[in-house]
Amino acid sequence: MAKKRTTIQLNLTLCCCFLFIDFCFSIIGTQKTDTIFQGQEFRDWEHLNSDNKVFRLQFFSPGNTKNRYLGIFYNLPPDVTPNDYDKRPVWVANRDSPIPDASGNLMIDTDGKFMISYGEGQEFVFFIAPARSNVSSRLLDNGNLVFQELNNSDGSVKQILWQSFDQPTDTLLPGMKLGLNFKTGQRWLLTSWISDQVPASGSVTFGVDPTNQLMIWWRGSVVWNSGIWQNGHFDYMQNLATASDQYGDLNFSYVSDEEKKYFIYSASEGQILTRYTLDSSGIVNDSTGSPTFGACTPHPAFVPGCNMEILSPCRRADLDREGDLLFDQTQGFPYGDSIVLDKNNYSLFDCRVECRSKCSCVAYASISDNGTGCEIWSNLQFEMTDFKQSREIFVIRRKPGIIGSWVGVAVGFTIFTAFWCLCIVMLRRIRAEANLGNKMREKRLLYELQRAAAPAIYKRAKSRDEKIGHELQVFSLESIELATNSFSNRNKLGEGGFGSVYKGELLDGRAVATKRLARTSGQGFQEFKNEILLIAKLQHTNLVKLLGCCIEDEEKILVYDYMTNKSLDLFLFDPHRKELLKWTNRLNIIEGVAQGLLYLHKYSRLRVIHRDLKASNILLDDNMTPKISDFGMARIFGAQVSEENTNRIVGTYGYMSPEYALNGVVSEKTDVFSFGVLLLEIISGKKNHRSYDSERPLNLIGLAWEMWSEGRALELVDPILEDSSHSKNEVMRCIHVGLLCVQDQAKDRPSMSDVVSMLTNDNLHLPAPKQPAFFIGLVATQEPEKEQEIKDPNLKKCSIKHLSISEMEPR
């Protein structure tokens, strides 16, 4: 009897346990499996699936490496046979910060920090939430990992604080943007892996150019472009409008306005595995691994949009019939004369380009098993071996010797003949040009401008006016004289060192401003030519629009859109008109000029340093929108160049940075300094090159610095703004940014990207400014348009003969 009672009790206990376990699982089943909550850890061996299990989040190790990365993958349906691209992650969180072991945890700590923690206290932080926020992270069914703030009342989403779609790696998914945001400075780009085993950022990027076309860059140089977006497709990709992949239809669209430009696509409902992936050789492959964008190999000359690589003459003998330099892949143990480019960010594609560009190179290979680094040989010998030292080598395919010899002779004879022909042509040209007058030289300049500004054939207009390309127009002198009433004084808007500006009205009714270059101007042909060729290629809402030019009868004239409110200095330094500049107008002008400079420095097709930013070069339209003008002194920089030295220093006294005025060093920070001076002038309504102390020559920068140091910064504000409604925090932030921009050392000044963030993000912490440059003892007493001599006790002689200093009157 006792034994029977014990059996019954045991059975009851087991039933209770099973019921409790089932109850626990039912509760767990109601929790979201796609979400990580605050205080929860997602460990290395775990998976996080999206709601409908389309995507999963997990740690992984690519190839044979032991490094661990956090990535998002497609979940493959059972009936799909995966290819190599299906197995690749669509996003990698810590691509440039690998974890050396399996200690990684994705978590949101109690302070709202969204991060990966690993090792002994090491962290990789994505985002830090505002204090006392209710936050969580969720993997969505579109592959987007979001860090979101929740409402405390019902747990609904309050706002998205961070998302992986804003930090793309090498893959574009449906709904993901590819482009740029001018207002926030955000840029959505794909960046290749270095190799299949190393997800770190490679040398190839894929994105949208401000000219409304897709582009692929290799180390900053354009290697492919799609053509302009129009009529629902890009010029060189007309089949894009009806594109589809193996799983369904794709819909592509392009959004472009003043704030943003981006390319985006969507997939039909239920479609899976759709993606576009940028590989390390600059090709964008679709979800099947087939080339779609930028497929410029092997013969780029026959692919629209591809910029064919120009090889040196020494490589011509090795080209195949289609004009390509081919390599044979082999295995072996190499030895011989070689150069090792031991850079972690070198891919096999980078190594190939290096070899193509060097006449002595006969072969190349990676220096590691994971496909990174580069070694190139000028003299190669190798042994065929099966040992572990065996390497994969790419050897230039040589033509048979006799053919190569005849080709060499033919090339040499051609070069010799071409050289003598060139000499004869040049001698004739020199003799002819010696007899040309001013009029013929000006016609030659006009032809040069036409060819440089628009390589395409330009069409003659109905009148004597001509168009360069689609936008820039070459006006006849007759049409300019009719528009300005023969340069009547009644039409005169202003005058400066360059000449005079006149208001005009074209035959089609358009109001224009014509800048007539004076014969005695310090700005000559170079500045005139520079402005035409440069500004014609720049398009931004905060840059003045150049309509055309006129070169005839020794006249050099530029024609712009007419700005109703003329220039900023007309308002800013006039005791009566400055009343029209309310604080909101001044703040909009500050932010607009900052956006224009950011475009010039970072987003324009040409990386441009303005070098003469000042109040008289900021024009205002009907809505008081600022337009940066006068690009005659601008400097074009290469993509990889951060600063240059110039022997010809040009600009306006009071706006030039110290390193530029004294040493001729020009960089983006040159414009940043000028912007800081302009910002302080806009806030105070005072000119920088005036003295604001009776006992010492203290300029505006010095005045602002002293007031800031003494806690009286608000006293700098223009008294005319006392009765207007303005935020003290906004004013203080602007003064703070202005002082950061005029710091003595260029390295201490922020970039224009940072400046835009500082002006638009109230929550951004600003560093304390250091002592500014040129704030005492250098207040101008010279007349405008005179050559200035800048003396430095450390220099034996520092007379800058070509220094062009101008103080221009308003337009």
CATH, residue 372: 3.50.4
Residue corresponding to tokens 């002006």:
759
In total, how many domains does the chain have? 4
β-bridge mates for residue 618, sequence order: 628
In a domain, 552, yes or no: yes
Per-residue pLDDT, 37: 93
In a domain, 330, yes or no: yes
CATH number reported for the structural domain that contains residue 522 in this entry: 3.30.200.20
CATH number reported for the structural domain that contains residue 779 in this entry: 1.10.510.10
Which of 334, 367, 398 marks a domain boundary?
Answer: 398
Quote the tokens at residue 470.
């689609």
180 SS3 class: strand
Say whether both 537 and 582 belong to one domain: no
Q: How far apart are CA 750 and CA 743, in angstroms?
A: 10
Quote the tokens at residue 107.
């978590």
| List of residues 6+ apart from 177 with CB closer than 8 A | 165, 188, 262, 263, 264
pTM over 0.85: no
Quote the tokens at residue 125.
């932080």
Q: How far apart are CA 242 and CA 232, in angstroms?
A: 10
Per-residue pLDDT, 639: 44
Quote the tokens at residue 629.
């003008």
In a domain, 421, yes or no: no
Q: How far apart are CA 420 and CA 215, in angstroms?
A: 40
Q: What is the dihedral of CA 276, 277, 279, 283, to 10 degrees?
A: 10
Say whether both 502 and 609 belong to one domain: no
C-alpha angle 363-364-365 in degrees, rounded to nearest 5:
140
Quote the tokens at residue 457.
């054939």
Q: What is the pLDDT of residues 521-564, one digit of tens each?
A: 555 566 677 677 666 667 788 988 888 888 887 788 888 889 98
Q: Which of 232, 235, 203 is closest to 219 using CA atoms? A: 203
Q: Which of 364, 356, 284 is closest to 325 using CA atoms? A: 356
Burial of 326: CB neighbours in 10 Å, binned 0-12, 13-18, 19+: middle
Quote the tokens at residue 508.
């089609």
For residue 786, the 8-state DSSP code is P
Residue pair 404/398 in contact by the 8 Å Cβ criterion: yes
Which of 111, 137, 167 marks a domain boundary?
Answer: 167
Catalytic residues: 612
Q: How far apart are CA 583 and CA 724, in angstroms?
A: 7
Q: How far apart are CA 180 and CA 749, in angstroms?
A: 24
**Within a 10 A sphere around the Cβ of 141, how many other Cβ atoms?**
13
For residue 210, is the peptide bond before it cis, meaning its omega torsion is within 30 degrees of 0? no
Per-residue pLDDT, 223: 85
In a domain, 648, yes or no: yes
Say whether both 598 and 699 belong to one domain: yes
Per-residue pLDDT, 237: 80
Say whether both 598 and 553 belong to one domain: no
Say whether both 736 and 670 belong to one domain: yes
Buried b vs exposed e over 33-64: b needs ≥16 C-beta within 10 Å? ebebebeeebebeeebbbeeebbbbbbbebee
Say whether both 557 and 596 belong to one domain: no
Quote the tokens at residue 475.
């006006």
For residue 53, the 8-state DSSP code is S
Say whether both 95 and 137 belong to one domain: yes
Q: How far apart are CA 563 and CA 167, in angstroms?
A: 40
Say whether both 757 and 633 belong to one domain: yes
Say whether both 547 and 572 belong to one domain: no
Which of 116, 147, 167 marks a domain boundary?
Answer: 167
Per-residue pLDDT, 179: 93
Say whether both 556 and 657 belong to one domain: no
Residue pair 28/34 in contact by the 8 Å Cβ criterion: no
**Residue 667 one-letter amino acid:** S
In a domain, 798, yes or no: yes
C-alpha angle 349-352-354 in degrees, rounded to nearest 5:
115
CA-to-CA dists, residue 94 to 87, 106, 500, angstroms: 18, 11, 57
Q: How far apart are CA 504 and CA 490, in angstroms?
A: 11
In a domain, 622, yes or no: yes
Residue pair 171/188 in contact by the 8 Å Cβ criterion: no
Q: Which of 389, 392, 408 is closest to 400 using CA atoms? A: 408
**Within a 10 A sphere around the Cβ of 703, how many other Cβ atoms?**
22
In a domain, 507, yes or no: yes
Quote the tokens at residue 196.
């299949």
CA-to-CA dists, residue 287 to 90, 240, 243, 290, 307, angstroms: 11, 15, 13, 7, 25
CATH number reported for the structural domain that contains residue 113 in this entry: 2.90.10.10
In a domain, 605, yes or no: yes
Largest distance between two CA atoms of the chain = 133
Q: pLDDT means per 10 residues in the chain (811 residues)?
A: 55 53 40 81 94 94 91 87 81 94 93 92 91 91 95 89 95 94 90 92 91 88 86 77 54 89 85 85 85 69 66 63 71 81 80 84 87 87 60 79 50 68 70 50 48 35 41 82 89 77 86 81 64 72 86 83 89 87 92 92 79 90 89 59 55 81 86 95 89 75 91 90 75 94 93 92 89 59 36 34 38 35
Say whether both 59 and 74 belong to one domain: yes
β-bridge mates for residue 57, sequence order: 48, 72
Q: Which structural domain range is residue 324 located in?
A: 313-398
β-bridge mates for residue 105, sequence order: 43, 117
Per-residue pLDDT, 270: 65
Q: What is the pLDDT of residues 331-382, one digit of tens each?
A: 877 778 888 886 667 888 888 888 887 888 889 998 888 888 899 988 887 6
Say whether both 462 and 361 belong to one domain: no
Q: How far apart are CA 263 and CA 251, in angstroms?
A: 11
Q: Which of 801, 800, 778, 787 is closest to 497 using CA atoms? A: 787
For residue 285, the 8-state DSSP code is E
